[in-house]
């Protein structure tokens, strides 16, 4: 059901992008919008993982270095998930957090912050890594890249139309119509992006709990990360807010007041679902600790 819902939402996002192009430039605008969408998604498909890792200052680590235990844990979980071994990166950020990226399981990467390694137990870290591997297995990393690219393109196109005015006959409201497009189209795109992101987070929680075998490990990790995100800045994420949806917990919680427009579902709801999953797996419903 989540896959079907995601497909419908992605189709809607693409349709919105093409509709904005048509409203602003008629058939020519539609063709240009389609070409821009293809070009941006092709670029994102091949380069988004490298870009986001560079944005967050992530460095690759191996089994013979300082993060050897982390890499071994990723390898163990990847085997349990029946996935190829992803590359492992560490970010020099004090806020505990993590994300996965890559266009497919054969080209995936998992990145965690130094803050996560310092503050979480091995079991909680396993829960987080299993969640990220679930994103890789579900190919959410590609889905969210395409979603973010389309949402950004809609905002760019709307701003472009605002700059050049509204003389197109397909937009009978003229400049008023252009203003409405400039305001409403990016908001609609953002809402679709959030709907996709939230659905994929719930699914990654569920599958991640199955991979590590202990839903309460992930539940405990989510509570710790969410608490720390309110008090500890993640400066690379603040400088690149478009990447916030990649993280297991929204890294912008500390300073953003637009909670209505967050890309992540409620941590309390995620934890409640994981505790229920633990009960269904015959484990204690009490928080792990």
Q: Where are the domains of the chain?
A: 2-280
Q: Which residues pair with 88 in a beta bridge?
A: 61, 110
Residues 6+ apart with CB under 8 A from 172: none
pLDDT score at 144:
73
Catalytic residue among 79, 92, 124, 132: 132
Model confidence, pTM: 0.80
pLDDT score at 260:
46
| Active-site residue flag, 132 | yes
Pick the closest to residue 247 from 110, 60, 71, 45 (CA basis): 110
Q: Strands, E, within the chain: which ranges? A: 59-61, 87-91, 98-101, 109-113
Q: Token pair for residue 103?
A: 């266009």
pLDDT score at 289:
40
Averages of pLDDT over runs of 10 residues in the chain (289 residues) are 57 68 64 73 77 92 90 97 97 96 92 97 97 93 71 65 52 51 60 69 95 96 95 90 86 57 83 95 64
Q: Are strands 109-113 and 87-91 parallel, antiparallel or unpaired?
A: parallel
* Separation between Cα atoms, residue 191 and residue 200, nearest integer Å: 14
């Amino acid at each position: 059901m989540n896959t079907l819902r995601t497909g419908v939402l992605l189709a809607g996002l693409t349709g919105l992008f093409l509709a904005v192009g048509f409203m602003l430039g008629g058939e020519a605008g539609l063709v240009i919008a389609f070409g821009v969408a293809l070009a941006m998604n092709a670029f994102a498909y091949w380069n988004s993982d490298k870009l986001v890792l560079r944005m967050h200052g992530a460095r690759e680590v191996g089994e013979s270095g300082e993060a050897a235990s982390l890499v071994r844990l990723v390898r163990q979980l990847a085997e349990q998930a029946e996935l190829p071994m992803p590359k492992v990166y560490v970010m020099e950020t004090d806020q505990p957090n993590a994300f996965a990226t890559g266009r497919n399981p054969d080209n995936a990467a998992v990145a965690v912050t130094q803050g996560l390694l310092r503050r979480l137990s091995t079991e909680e870290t396993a829960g987080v890594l299993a969640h990220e591997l679930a994103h890789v297995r579900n190919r959410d990393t590609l889905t969210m890249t395409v979603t973010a690219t389309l949402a950004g393109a809609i905002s760019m196109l709307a701003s472009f139309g605002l700059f050049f005015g509204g003389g197109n006959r397909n937009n009978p409201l003229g400049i008023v119509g252009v203003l409405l497009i400039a305001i409403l189209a990016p908001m609609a795109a953002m809402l679709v992006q959030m709907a996709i992101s939230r659905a994929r987070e719930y699914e990654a929680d569920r599958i991640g709990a199955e991979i590590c075998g202990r839903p309460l490990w992930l539940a405990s990790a989510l509570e710790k990360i969410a608490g720390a995100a309110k008090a500890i800045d993640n400066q690379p994420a603040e400088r690149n807010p478009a990447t916030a949806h990649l993280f297991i917990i929204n890294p912008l919680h500390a300073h953003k007041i637009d909670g209505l427009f967050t890309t992540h579902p409620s941590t309390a709801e995620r934890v409640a679902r994981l505790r229920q999953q633990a009960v269904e797996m015959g484990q204690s419903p009490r928080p792990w600790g």
